[in-house]
Amino acid sequence: MPTLLEQAAKMTAQAAGKIESAMLKMPEEKLTWKPEQGARTILHQIAECACINKMAAGMLATQQMPADFREQLDASFAHNDTRDKTIASLKEGTALLTAAILAFPAEKLDSEIALPWGSHTLADMVFMPYWNMSYHEGQINYIQTLYEE
Q: What DSSP line would sit under 42-91, residue for residue?
A: HHHHHHHHHHHHHHHHHHHHHSS--TTHHHHHHHHHHH--SHHHHHHHHH
Residue-level pLDDT at 132: 97
Tell whether the model's pLDDT for residue 29 goes beyond 90.
Answer: no
pLDDT tens digits, one per residue of 69-99: 899 999 999 999 999 999 999 999 999 999 9
pLDDT, tens digit (0-9, with 9 covering 90-100), for 91-146: 999 999 999 999 999 999 999 998 888 899 999 999 999 999 999 999 999 888 88
User: What distance in Å separates the CA atoms of residue 101 and residue 118, rounded to the nearest whole number?
Assistant: 21
Residue 149 scores a pLDDT above 60 = no
The span from the CA of 115 to the CA of 73, in Å, is 15
Give the pLDDT band of residue 148 (cuts 50, 70, 90): low
**What is the pLDDT, as a whole number, of residue 14?**
98
Q: What is the pLDDT of residue 68?
A: 92
* Beta bridge partners of residue 118, listed in sequence order: 115
Query: Span 9-34, mean pLDDT?
Result: 94
pLDDT at 35: 84
